[in-house]
Amino acid sequence: MRAAPTILHLDMDAFYASVEQASKPSLRGKAVIVGGLGPRGVVATASYEARRFGVHSAMPMGQARRLCPNGAYLIPRFSLYRQVSDVVMALLRELSPLVEPLSLDEAFVDLEAGGVAFDSGSARETGERLRADIRAATGLSGSVGLAGSKMLAKVASEEAKPAGLLLIEPGTERELLAPMSVRTLPGVGPATGEHLRRAGITTVGELAEAGEDELVRMVGRSAGAGLYRMALGLDDRPVVAERDAKSVSVEDTFDVDLHDRVRIRGEVQRLADRCVRRLRDSGHSGRTIVLKVRRYDFSTLTRSETLRGPTDDPAVVREAAARLLEGVDTTGGVRLLGVGVSGLADYTQEDLFAQSLAAEPDGADGTGGADVADRTGRTDRTDGAGGGAVAAGAAEAEAEGAHGAAEPPGEPEPAPERRWSAGSDVRHAVYGPGWVQGSGVGRVTVRFEQPGSEPGRVRTFRVDDPELEPSDPLPLVGDGPEGGPEGRP
């Protein structure tokens, strides 16, 4: 515990939804819900306007639509969120070498280590300056908490939301915490909170009064001792510079259970390719390939295979994932698939056997699969109920179909209908940049606007209009609106 509030916690306000509102002027001040739009999708982030209707993160999207039927429901645009996050994190690193990111929109900063704050006055000044710099660089707001410990700084930023700053003076911790709900404390979820409520403990003050021995009796030694320390406002954890990633992974939840084994294999191959792209983008390679399968009855299986050395070769990852799938029974249907790579390193150990075999067909005698498994360096295969650390990336799933077996020559098949997801970026040859409001029955509706412009016009096109193309997101803060032939769209 520090004698000065020099640990800062930044939490961007409704980050994904705020980015969408900033980039889509017609949505400013409106209810915006970001997440998976399919029947099994979940809410990733809801704007404060949507939260007034009871919508919150991790809620099933169907329930959110019932609560807020007139909200704007959009797919996540993670590439843009990462760009904005990079800008914010760069501002934090200007303050201190000790920055501990927790997610794209949240981080701790040790202000004392950066020499920018040593007391309450300088800490508050630094926090206010940071909020102003973030607003100028991104157009977004963030909430700042300042305290003598990480736990209290995080509590302070939560209390400061939205777009505020709260400084907790050392020595006032217990007085501030006492009336707060036990759910305020990190790690106290619904189950623990309910357990404490049944015991008559609903506030942090009551938690402290219960005493360590009673809490240990109720929830166990480790959890009880930790709860008691937090109730007293005690936390001596240091700010740790950002940790290395432990795994890179992707997963997709399907609107309808998959039963076709060929389709399932194709989806696994596609996920493997996406996973490798992320792996390479992060500058890593990995030794352990992980397959995650959630079946029709919600039972979740993971399978893993460890290679002799780290790789970022898509062929090697695809082969390993395919081998792992062979050991999973998918007869009843599959609702989710994921592929991950763990055991990360910043180098690759080229496996010449694996690379050469990537282009070879399996042996006609049926032993080719086992031969490949041996020569690619597989050393073990393990099962587990929760292994793999597969990240929740279903909301950014690409609309790609699985490739089946080659068809004999014949009449060319018509090009597949282009899919336009609500919220995705587009550009029209005449009207310029815009975003998809919705699509169906062969039509797509686009609103032509961009960050910094006035709310734009809405136009409808055929889904196969040759003048309409997908586009990269525009930066939130730039040189000004980009007008089309009609001026500002």
- pLDDT band (50, 70, 90) for residue 353: very low
Residue 245 pLDDT = 72
Residue 377 pLDDT = 37
Check: CB of residue 434 under 8 Å from CB of residue 410.
no
Active site residue 173: no
Residue 416 pLDDT = 53
Q: Any bridge partners for residue 145, and if so which?
A: 9, 166
* Active-site choice (20, 49, 100, 106): 106
In order of 159, 175, 191, 305, the CA distances from 55 in angstroms are 19, 32, 21, 40
Angle CA(262)–CA(315)–CA(252) in degrees, nearest 5?
Answer: 50
Could you give the angle at which helices 78-95 and 15-23 cross, rounded to 10 degrees? 110
Query: What's the helix, strand, coil split of the chain in %, to 5?
Result: 35, 25, 40
- pLDDT band (50, 70, 90) for residue 346: confident
Check: CB of residue 172 under 8 Å from CB of residue 178.
no
Nearest of 75, 68, 77, 87 to residue 12 by alpha carbon: 87
Asked whether the predicted pLDDT for residue 178 surpasses 50, the reply is yes
Mean pLDDT of 124-140: 96
The pair phi, psi for residue 251, each rounded to 5°, is: -155, 155
Which residues does 449 contact at the CB level (< 8 Å), separation at least 6? Answer: 24, 25, 26, 434, 435, 455, 456, 489
Q: What is the mean pLDDT of the chain?
A: 84
To the question of pTM greater than 0.85 for the whole model, the response is no
Question: Over pLDDT 90: what percentage of the chain?
Answer: 65
Residue 18 pLDDT = 97
Q: Which residues of 62-87 are buried (b: 16+ CB within 10 A; e: fewer)?
A: eebbebbeebbbbbbbeebbeebbeb
What are the pLDDT digits (tens) for 230-258? 999 898 899 998 676 788 999 998 888 99
Asked whether the predicted pLDDT for residue 350 surpasses 70, the reply is no
Asked whether the predicted pLDDT for residue 395 surpasses 70, the reply is no
Q: Which residues of 304-314 are buried (b: 16+ CB within 10 A; e: fewer)?
A: bbbbebbbbbb
Q: What is the distance between the alpha carbons of residues 114 and 480, in angstroms, rounded to a whole number?
A: 34
- pLDDT band (50, 70, 90) for residue 144: very high
Dmax (CA) of the chain: 80
Range of weakest confidence among 49-58, 294-303, 408-417: 408-417
Top pLDDT among 346 and 211 is at 211
Question: Over pLDDT 70: what percentage of the chain?
Answer: 82
Angle CA(445)–CA(449)–CA(455) in degrees, nearest 5?
Answer: 100
What are the pLDDT digits (tens) for 44-55? 999 999 999 999
Range of weakest confidence among 281-285, 287-291, 414-418, 465-469: 414-418
Asked whether the predicted pLDDT for residue 382 surpasses 80, the reply is no
Residue 219 pLDDT = 84
DSSP string, 338-392: EEEEEEEESS----HHHHHHTTSPPPTTS-HHHHHHHHTT--EEEEESSTT----
Asked whether the predicted pLDDT for residue 310 surpasses 60, the reply is yes
Q: What is the distance between the alpha carbons of residues 448 and 426, in angstroms, rounded to a whole number?
A: 9
